[in-house]
Amino acid sequence: MVELIKKRTDMVTEDRSKLLKNSNTEYRSNPKKEPGMFTSTSTRDVAPVEFKAKAAEKKSDINAVAKKDVITLPPTTTIMGVIKTMTSKGFRRVPIADAGTKRLEGIITSMDIVNFLGGGSKNLLVKNYYKENLLAAINADVSEIMQRDVAFVTSKASISDAVEMMIQRNTGGLPVVDEDKRVCAIFTERDFLDLMADTIDYDSIRDYMSTKVKTVPFDTTIEEASEIMVNRGFRRLPIVKDGILIGIVTASNIMNFLGSGKAFEKMVTGNFHEAFSEPITSLITKDVVWASPETDMGDAAKLMIEKEVGSLPVIDNDVLCGIITERDFLRAASSTYW
């Protein structure tokens, strides 16, 4: 199945490359299109996915899978300092902790950065306090925009506790703390996917994928995409042109645009609108990796790990019919695995 997926990816690469080559020059002259929605009938009311016995053996030990080499940053770190750390390390989230005691005080995620950059309420810091001067705003302390009501688990928690907490709090990662609330590890959706990749029985992703997929046209700007992601609660957006899926842009792509310094190349006055008026297609960095509806969950998990992606668009007869994400694996497992 993985080979079939790769073959399809190779087939569309040439068309996608041609589209991307022209998209940066076409987007300003073309009329704006409304974001699209591909919809199919939901199949969510199904039995939870089954797992092999070796996964169950690990279910009581969060320490077996949580990453111990967690990096924390103090609340006085500048927003730009946090962005650079997350970009260089490939992180989607960083716990914010007291510099001396390491006690958990908050957390910052790539979605918080997108919100700050223009997508939501945190952008008011840029608009109102810093008068839309991005260069000034990114030097504010991260405490200004971090999440203070942090979902976390203790080092004595089970993996089942962590999974249920992540689902209930709609979060992709949890700091793990000791009895004094000092950060000692972090557990993420990717850690869970790594655990599940070799333990999932042969269930089709058709039954667990999300079937309502929001797409945006290729000429959408980074600022417009940020607003859609924050307002709709999406961490990723499929990009289409002439009905063809040409890529997926994530919250991390947008954050990395700033962290890499590319956002500043178009700036003249320092106004944040200048930085984010570029087409969203300029942020697409990988070829489309996709799956068919009949791909089994184990193969899908392995492909996501191999390609280092957090989701797979699901294509049936050349039509985008759904998407499966790391979050869907959590939901699929939560009822029966534990």
Question: What's the pLDDT score for residue 195?
Answer: 83
Predicted confidence (pLDDT) at residue 7 exceeds the cutoff of 70? no
Mean pLDDT of the chain, nearest integer: 82
Q: Are residues 253 and 305 in the same domain?
A: yes
Q: Are residues 13 and 69 in the same domain?
A: no
Q: Are residues 172 and 279 in the same domain?
A: no
Tell me whether residue 265 is exposed, middle or buried, using C-beta atoms within 10 angstroms of its C-beta: 0 to 12, 13 to 18, 19 or more.
exposed
Q: Are residues 320 and 206 in the same domain?
A: yes
Higher pLDDT pick, 257 / 42:
257
Q: Are residues 82 and 153 in the same domain?
A: yes
305 with 194: CB under 8 angstroms? Answer: yes
3-state SS of the chain?
Answer: CHHHHHHHHHHHHHHHHHHHHHHHHHCCCCCCCCCEEEECCCCCCCCCCCECHHHHHCCCCHHHCCECCCCCECCCCEHHHHHHHHHHHCCCEEEEECCCCCEEEEEEEHHHHHHHHHHCHHHHHHHHHCCCEHHHHCCCEHHHCCECCCCCEECCCCHHHHHHHHHHHCCCEEEEECCCCEEEEEEEHHHHHHHHCCCECCCEHHHCCECEEEEEECCCEHHHHHHHHHHHCCCEEEEEECCEEEEEEEHHHHHHHHHCCHHHCCCCCCEHHHHCCCEHHHHCCCCCCCECCCCEHHHHHHHHHHHCCCEEEEEECCEEEEEEEHHHHHHHHHCCCC
Point out the domain boundary residue: 144, 160, 188.
Answer: 188
Comparing 75-79, 139-143, 216-220, 315-319, the range with the smallest average pLDDT is 315-319
Q: Which residues of 143-155 are buried (b: 16+ CB within 10 A; e: fewer)?
A: bebbeeebbbbee
Q: What would the mean pLDDT of 177-199 be, rounded to a whole number?
A: 91
Q: Are residues 308 and 226 in the same domain?
A: yes
Question: What's the pLDDT score for residue 60?
Answer: 60
Counting the structural domains of the chain, the total is 2
Higher pLDDT pick, 291 / 125:
291
Question: What's the pLDDT score for residue 263?
Answer: 84
Question: What's the pLDDT score for residue 315?
Answer: 95
Question: What's the pLDDT score for residue 280?
Answer: 94
Predicted confidence (pLDDT) at residue 52 exceeds the cutoff of 70? no
| pLDDT tens, residue by residue, 226-274 | 999 999 999 999 999 988 899 999 999 999 998 988 888 877 777 778 8
The answer as to whether 288 is a domain residue is yes
Question: What's the pLDDT score for residue 287?
Answer: 86
Point out the domain boundary residue: 188, 216, 231.
Answer: 188
Q: Are residues 205 and 330 in the same domain?
A: yes
Q: Are residues 11 and 88 in the same domain?
A: no
Identify residue 133 by its one-letter amino acid code: N
Task: Please give the residue range of the domain that contains residue 244.
Answer: 2-48+200-334
Cβ count within 10 A of residue 283: 20
**Whole-angstrom distance, CA of residue 38 vs CA of residue 127:** 34
The answer as to whether 57 is a domain residue is no
The answer as to whether 194 is a domain residue is no
From residue 156, alpha-carbon distances to 53, 62, 183, 267 in Å are: 22, 7, 13, 49
**Whole-angstrom distance, CA of residue 192 vs CA of residue 190:** 5
Point out the domain boundary residue: 161, 188, 215.
Answer: 188
Q: What would the mean pLDDT of 295-312 be, rounded to a whole number?
A: 93
Phi, psi (deg, nearest 5) at residue 234: -95, 140
Q: What would the mean pLDDT of 269-284 be, rounded to a whole number?
A: 85
Q: What is the pTM of this model?
A: 0.81
Q: Are residues 231 and 264 in the same domain?
A: yes
The answer as to whether 53 is a domain residue is no
The answer as to whether 243 is a domain residue is yes
The answer as to whether 234 is a domain residue is yes
| pLDDT tens, residue by residue, 102-125 | 999 999 999 999 998 876 788 877
Q: Are residues 326 and 211 in the same domain?
A: yes
The answer as to whether 54 is a domain residue is no
Q: Are residues 180 and 95 in the same domain?
A: yes
The answer as to whether 249 is a domain residue is yes
Q: Are residues 27 and 102 in the same domain?
A: no
Question: What's the pLDDT score for residue 63?
Answer: 87
Question: What's the pLDDT score for residue 93?
Answer: 97
CATH for 135 = 3.10.580.10
